[in-house]
Amino acid sequence: MAFEALQVRTREAGKIVYCEKCELAPVIGDYVIIEFDRGLEYGLVLTAVQAFETLPDEEPLKKIVRKVTKEDLLQIEKNKGSTRDAYCACSKKIQEKKLSMKLIGAEYSFDRGKLIFYFTADGRVDFRELVKELASHFKARIELKQIGVRDEAKFIGGFGPCGRHLCCAKFLKDFEPVTIRMAKEQNLPLNPTKISGICGRLMCCLYYEYSTYKELLKGLPKLGSKIKTKEGKNAKVISVNTLKRTVLVETEDKVQVEIKY
């Protein structure tokens, strides 16, 4: 039997969870307080109500306690201010212990019961002593979370080669696998510097634009293929403009003609 749920991203860069539909009727863009992992957490509503047969992550639905109040917003801002001090303290301890890890950021849970540190590392790091010292210093549960380069870009934010805010930091919910085939289908130069984001991986837009390109490519001849023009002349396809659905061909007598589809 299908049920309805709201998709909510916890904290600024936390996990995405599914929450019960409630009488509060939050909409996309609303901040809400939810019951989460032995305490309260805040999150941003990402999607409108959807119907599911089973939960995608097989976790029980979270409960929305309320929409955020002015007092909640003040608490969130206070937590953000405190994380700057936490980041500096943790970074100093990492240097003292000479641990091979790069600290990326820190986040408090809404109720300040948990403090999360995000880091990158080339391999596994023994940070047990670090966790003990941080827990003693901050009087909170400590979680050290190792993330990848894509998550790092999402956490820090910035601007992509297109000049716009990074998709991962602005609106993407999850990271999807991106392949070089997607760049080929979009007729992009297979130069790593041209099709990679600031994280060094293939740009996320290659994935979510791929379905549009696949649809627009239907019925278009492939680059290098031979076709006949309306005049019946044999011609070779030398260029394909997917978005305009046009191809540029060159006939046997070296005349170039643009054909619209």
Question: DSSP states of 50-87 as a string?
Answer: EEESS-TT-PPPBPEEEE--HHHHHHHHHHHHHHHHHH
141 and 79 housed in the same domain: yes
185 and 235 housed in the same domain: no
Asked whether residue 153 is domain-assigned, the answer is no
22 and 58 housed in the same domain: yes
HEC secondary structure over 147-180: CCHHHHHHHHCCECCCCCECHHHHCCCCCCCCCH
**In this predicted structure, what is the pLDDT of residue 1?**
45
Number of domains in the chain: 4
Asked whether residue 47 is domain-assigned, the answer is yes
Least confident piece of the model among 1-5, 42-46, 178-182, 187-191: 1-5
Asked whether residue 77 is domain-assigned, the answer is yes
Q: Rounded distance, CA 14 to CA 11, Å?
A: 5
Which residues on adjacent β-strands are paired with residue 98?
none
pLDDT digits (tens, 9 = 90+) for 108-152: 888 888 899 999 998 889 999 999 999 999 998 999 999 999 999
114 and 60 housed in the same domain: no
64 and 79 housed in the same domain: no
182 and 196 housed in the same domain: yes
In whole angstroms, how large is the CA radius of gyration of the chain?
25
Q: What is the CATH number for 138? A: 3.30.300
Q: Domain of 111?
A: 73-147
Asked whether residue 161 is domain-assigned, the answer is no
24 and 45 housed in the same domain: yes
Q: Rounded distance, CA 40 to CA 127, Å?
A: 27
Asked whether residue 152 is domain-assigned, the answer is no
208 and 191 housed in the same domain: yes
225 and 179 housed in the same domain: no
Q: Rounded distance, CA 79 to CA 193, Å?
A: 38
Asked whether residue 104 is domain-assigned, the answer is yes
pLDDT digits (tens, 9 = 90+) for 11-50: 776 778 888 877 788 888 889 999 877 678 898 888 766 6
Report the SS3 class of residue 105. Answer: strand
Contact indicator for 202, 180 with CB cutoff of 8 Å: yes
Contact indicator for 161, 205 with CB cutoff of 8 Å: no
93 and 61 housed in the same domain: no
Q: Which of 119, 147, 175 is the last residue of a domain?
A: 147
140 and 86 housed in the same domain: yes
Q: How confident is the model at residue 176 (pLDDT cuts 50, 70, 90)?
A: confident
Q: How confident is the model at residue 51 (pLDDT cuts 50, 70, 90)?
A: low
Percentage of residues in the chain with pLDDT exceeding 90?
A: 46
Q: Rounded distance, CA 242 to CA 246, Å?
A: 7
Asked whether residue 227 is domain-assigned, the answer is yes
Percentage of residues in the chain with pLDDT exceeding 70?
A: 93
Asked whether residue 159 is domain-assigned, the answer is no
